[in-house]
Structure 1
Amino acid sequence: MTTTTENAASYFVDRHLAEGRGGKTAFIEGDRTLSYGELAARSDLIADLYARHGITPEDRAAMIALDVLEFPIIFWGSLKAGIVPVPLNTLLSADNYRFILRDSRAKALFVSAPLLETVRPILGDLPHLRAVFVLGGDSQGFLDFSAELATCRPQPMQPASADEVAFWLYSSGSTGAPKGVRHVHGSLKGTSDTYAAQVLGIRQDDLVFSAAKLFFAYGLGNGMTFPMSVGATTALLSGRPTPQSVFDLMAEVRPTIYCGVPTLYAAMLAHAKEGPAPGCDRLRMCVSAGEALPREVGEKWRALTGVDILDGVGSTEMLHIFLSNRPGDVVYGTSGVAVPGYELRLVDESGKEVEGDAVGELLVNGPTAADGYWNKRDKSRSTFEGVWTRTGDKYQRQADGRYVYCGRTDDMFKVSGIWVAPFEVEQALISHPSVLEAAVVPALDENGLEKPKAFVVLKDGAARDGLEDALKDCVKEAIGKWKYPRWIELVDELPKTATGKIQRYKLRSQA
Structure 2
Amino acid sequence: MTTPQITLTPAESQAPGNLAAQLAGLAERRGWVDRAAFHQGHRAWTHGEVHTLAARAAGVLAGHGVRPGDRVLLALPDGIAWVTTFLAVARLGAVAVLVNPELPAAEHAFMAHDTGAVLCVTGPGLEDRFADRACLGADQLVALTSVAEPADACPVDAHTPLYVQYTSGTTGRPKGVVHGHGDPKAYHDLIGRRLLRITQDDVTLSVSKLYFAYGFGNAFVFPLFSGSSAVLVDRRPAPAAVDELVARHRVTLLYSVPSAYAALVADRGSGHEACFGSVRAAVSAGEGLPDGLGGQVTELLGAPVLEQIGSTEAGHAFCANSFDHNAPGTVGRPVPGFEVELRDRAGCPVEEGAEGELWVRGPTVTPGYLNRPEETERTLVGGWLATHDRAVRQPNGAYRHLGRTDDLEMVGGITVSPLEVEAVLRLHPAVREVAVAAVTDGRGVGRLRAFVVPVAPLTAGLEDDLVGLAREHLAAFKVPRSVSFVPSLPRTPTGKLRRHLVRQGAW
Partners of 1:456 and 1:247 in 2: CA distance = 39
SS of the equivalent of 1:293 reads coil
478-487 or 306-315, which deviates more: 478-487
In structure 2, the partner of 1:323 is: 319
Note if 1:302 corresponds to 2:298: yes
**Residue 91 of structure 1: how far off its partner (Å):** 2.4
Change (3 A) 1:509 1:262: closer
Partners of 1:309 and 1:493 in 2: CA distance = 40
**Residue 4 of structure 1: how far off its partner (Å):** 4.0
**Residue 368 of structure 1: how far off its partner (Å):** 0.7
272-281 or 499-508, which deviates more: 499-508
Q: Deviations over 1:31-82 (max 9, x none)?
A: 2221111111111123322232222221111111111111110011110011
Change (3 A) 1:275 1:340: farther
In structure 2, the partner of 1:279 is: 275
For 1:376-395, what aligned pairs fall within 5 Å after superposition? 376-395=372-391
SS of the equivalent of 2:195 reads helix
Change (3 A) 1:373 1:207: same
Q: Deviations over 1:136-178 (max 9, x none)?
A: 4xxxxxxx12222233211110011001111111111111111
Q: Is the 8 A contact 2:440 2:504 kept in 1?
A: no
Q: Pick from 29, 38, 51: which aligns with 2:40?
A: 29
Q: Deviations over 1:200-233 (max 9, x none)?
A: 0100111111121111110010001112111111
**Normalized against structure 2, the TM-score is what?**
0.93
In structure 2, the partner of 1:198 is: 194
Q: Is the 8 A contact 1:356 1:399 kept in 2?
A: no
Amino acid of the structure 2 residue aligned with 1:299: G
Note if 1:468 corresponds to 2:459: no
SS of the equivalent of 2:434 reads strand
Q: Is the 8 A contact 2:120 2:130 kept in 1?
A: no
Q: Deviations over 1:445-503 (max 9, x none)?
A: 12222222212133455x63222123123223312111222331223444456765544
In structure 2, the partner of 1:3 is: 13
SS of the equivalent of 1:295 reads coil
306-315 or 104-113, which deviates more: 104-113
Q: Pick from 56, 63, 67: which aligns with 1:52?
A: 63
Amino acid of the structure 2 residue aligned with 1:298: G
**Residue 371 of structure 1: how far off its partner (Å):** 2.1
Note if 1:422 corresponds to 2:432: no
Q: Pick from 175, 179, 182: which aligns with 2:178?
A: 182
Q: Is the 8 A contact 2:411 2:438 kept in 1?
A: no
In structure 2, the partner of 1:155 is: 151
Q: Is the 8 A contact 2:341 2:360 kept in 1?
A: yes
Q: Deviations over 1:406-462 (max 9, x none)?
A: 11011212001111111011012112343233111231112222222212133455x
Partners of 1:7 and 1:279 in 2: CA distance = 39
Change (3 A) 1:496 1:299: closer
Note if 1:484 corresponds to 2:479: yes
Report sequence identity in percent: 35
Q: Is the 8 A contact 2:357 2:405 kept in 1?
A: yes
Q: Is the 8 A contact 1:17 1:36 kept in 2?
A: no
Q: Pick from 70, 77, 88: which aligns with 2:99?
A: 88
Q: Is the 8 A contact 1:33 1:69 kept in 2?
A: no
Aligned residues: CA RMSD: 1.9
In structure 1, the partner of 2:28 is: 17
Q: Pick from 311, 321, 333: which aligns with 2:307?
A: 311
SS of the equivalent of 1:330 reads coil
Partners of 1:278 and 1:76 in 2: CA distance = 37
In structure 2, the partner of 1:342 is: 338
Note if 1:43 corresponds to 2:54: yes
In structure 1, the partner of 2:3 is: none
**Residue 505 of structure 1: how far off its partner (Å):** 4.2
Q: Is the 8 A contact 1:384 1:390 kept in 2?
A: yes
Q: Deviations over 1:296-318 (max 9, x none)?
A: 11101111121011000011000
Partners of 1:331 and 1:500 in 2: CA distance = 40
SS of the equivalent of 2:273 reads coil
In structure 2, the partner of 1:396 is: 392
Q: Structure 2 unaligned segments of length 5 or more: list them.
A: 1-7
Q: Is the 8 A contact 1:61 1:107 kept in 2?
A: yes
In structure 2, the partner of 1:140 is: none
Partners of 2:24 and 2:207 in 1: CA distance = 23
Amino acid of the structure 2 residue aligned with 1:135: A
For 1:72-471, what aligned pairs fall within 5 Å after superposition? 72-113=83-124, 116=125, 119-124=126-131, 126=132, 129-130=133-134, 132-136=135-139, 144-273=140-269, 275-460=271-456, 464-471=459-466
Q: Is the 8 A contact 1:27 1:69 kept in 2?
A: yes
SS of the equivalent of 1:255 reads coil
Partners of 1:497 and 1:199 in 2: CA distance = 44
Partners of 2:35 and 2:142 in 1: CA distance = 22
SS of the equivalent of 1:226 reads helix
Would you say how many aligned residue pairs link Structure 1 and Structure 2?
A: 495
Amino acid of the structure 2 residue aligned with 1:355: E
**Residue 384 of structure 1: how far off its partner (Å):** 1.4
Partners of 1:90 and 1:446 in 2: CA distance = 31
